[in-house]
Amino acid sequence: MEADQSQGVLDKLLAAAHHFYQGSTAMQAFAPWPDDLQPAGLLPQDIPATKIITDWQDDDSLHKAVQAACPYIHWSHGYTEAEVGRDFLDGFGYLELYGPYGLFHSAKERGFISFWRRGLDYPWHYHEAEELYAIISGTARFEAQGDTPDILRAGDTKFHQSNQQHAMQTPDDHVLAFILWRGNAITEFSRIVT
Ligand SMILES: [Fe+2]
């Protein structure tokens, strides 16, 4: 596919994400949609989990846009095999949709779309940025220090305070989530609790 065509697919992904955002009062209250977006021209980077994403059927339009854009997305793991293990890395991945390192550059805001396959245990981790999870499709069990564990489904959201340790499990289903960060530390990365 020519570069301008692949950018067109990523533009559709961004538009679907914006539509999802506009349907979520929690996301809109958490952070504004960035007004400084520029295509970053990141080269596609595949991960093993894209095969699972491609095969996972769901009616949500953002879910479908992620599937359509899969081959053109720069996918990341963020964590090393030493931190989370090979099995976790084979079933997990995220794309930074917009932000300092995103498919679309923004110096102001940061948004990710992350996938975990069924049967994963996302270890306790933390980051200085405040965070809002919004479930696109599937379900997951969320834990956070000081909070009651909760099962989240499509449309549900979960807020994490700055440096609040949190973890997640996917015993029953895959999960796809749109995640926003805000605050002074959005350029940083998540750290596993050791
Ligand atoms: Fe987090």
What is the Å distance from ligand 1's center to 51 Cα?
A: 24
What is the Å distance from ligand 1's center to 90 Cα?
A: 19
Angle between helix axes 3-22 and 61-69 (nearest 10 degrees) is 160
What is the Å distance from ligand 1's center to 84 Cα?
A: 15
pTM for this predicted structure: 0.97
Q: What is the pLDDT along the chain (194 residues), one digit of tens a residue?
A: 566 779 999 999 999 999 999 999 999 999 999 999 999 999 999 999 999 999 999 999 999 999 999 999 999 999 999 999 999 999 999 999 999 999 999 999 999 999 999 999 999 999 999 999 999 999 999 999 999 999 999 999 999 999 999 999 999 999 999 999 999 899 999 999 99
C-alpha span between 193 and 187 (Å, rounded): 19
Helix extents (H) in the chain: 3-22, 25-30, 50-55, 61-69, 81-84, 86-91
What is the Å distance from ligand 1's center to 15 Cα?
A: 24
What is the Å distance from ligand 1's center to 10 Cα?
A: 24
Q: Which tokens hold the place of 135?
A: 């479930």
